[in-house]
Amino acid sequence: MRIFKAFAKINWSLSVLRKRQDGYHDIITLMHAIDLHDTLIFKSSETIEIETNLPVKKENNLVYKAIQALQEYTKIKKGVHVILKKKIPCGAGLGGGSSDAAVTLKALNELWQLNLDIKKLHELGSSIGSDIPFFLYLPLCIVQGRGDIVKPLKIQKSYTLLLVKPDFSISTKWAYESLNFKTQLTTEYEKINNNIWQLYNLLCSGDVNSFNLWNDLEKPVLEKYPEIDKIKKKLIEAGAKKALMSGSGSTVFGLFNNEADAKKALKNFEGYWCKVVQTLC
């Protein structure tokens, strides 16, 4: 039996450049892992068994798809019993399912002694879900393409965030399809790339007041779900230095000076799912 942690993520920035011919969207985003995590326990089994508190059919679970992808590629006949203990909320823009799948690829590569390199795991992960490759290179990366181009970055500072999620989820597919590419997108790649590197340098230096955070998906989401905007404003009123929707939502994170300030702000969000977390180094 082996136990692994699957960490969640937030997006410090997210730019959507264009819709591709394959139906996906080209993006460029700065993604950072946080210490909120699911737990996966792997046990030997002759068949594929997934035990979880997640109300999803096995065939739709990204953990199951990761197992299948490894079996199909390696032709291995082994099974596995996975116990998935969810702590990361679903449909929240925190990458929980993708992280679970990435951990499954890494764990079974080790447990089944497959000896696949990171490049092959990356390729298999990308075939299952767009965010999965990032979770193979934690903690901080610039992610481009449809999520398949990943540049790992080093960071030695950790930041305190308060996550706030309303009692609804947002469809990632809907959020992307709702973008108006004529008016809502910044397609100047060089400008976006420079802004991301500037943001990364500020993250490394700790100059919180100079952070410029952005998310192209916020505009269509806020139009349909105004409660997201209310949460953002409430976080700032509660002392957050910055607030932004993570990914396609519905989670909003507030950036605080320290854990004490973030915990103090919790009282303003009764009725919401909330969690004080730290970014990983």
**Catalytic residue ranges:** 9, 131
Distance CA 33, CA 88 (A): 12
**Residue 99 labelled as part of a binding site:** yes
**Residue 206 labelled as part of a binding site:** no
Longest dimension (CA), the chain: 56
- 65-77 exposure pattern, b = at least 16 Cβ within 10 A, e = fewer: bbbebbbeebeee
**Residue 95 labelled as part of a binding site:** yes
**Residue 91 labelled as part of a binding site:** yes
What count of Cα atoms within 13 Å lies in the side-chain half-sphere of residue 21? 0
**Residue 98 labelled as part of a binding site:** yes
By DSSP bridging, strand 242-245 and strand 252-256 are antiparallel
DSSP result, 102-150: HHHHHHHHHHTT----HHHHHHHHHHH-TTGGGGGS-SEEEEEETTTEE
Distance CA 73, CA 110 (A): 15
Distance CA 199, CA 30 (A): 9
**Residue 92 labelled as part of a binding site:** yes
Backbone angles phi, psi at 153, to 5 degrees: -130, 150
Q: Are 95 and 131 in contact (CB under 8 A)?
A: yes
By CB neighbour count within 10 A (0-12 exposed, 13-18 middle, 19+ buried), where does 154 fall? exposed
**Residue 23 labelled as part of a binding site:** no
**Residue 247 labelled as part of a binding site:** no
In the annotated binding site, the residues are 89-99
In the annotated binding site for ATP, the residues are 89-99
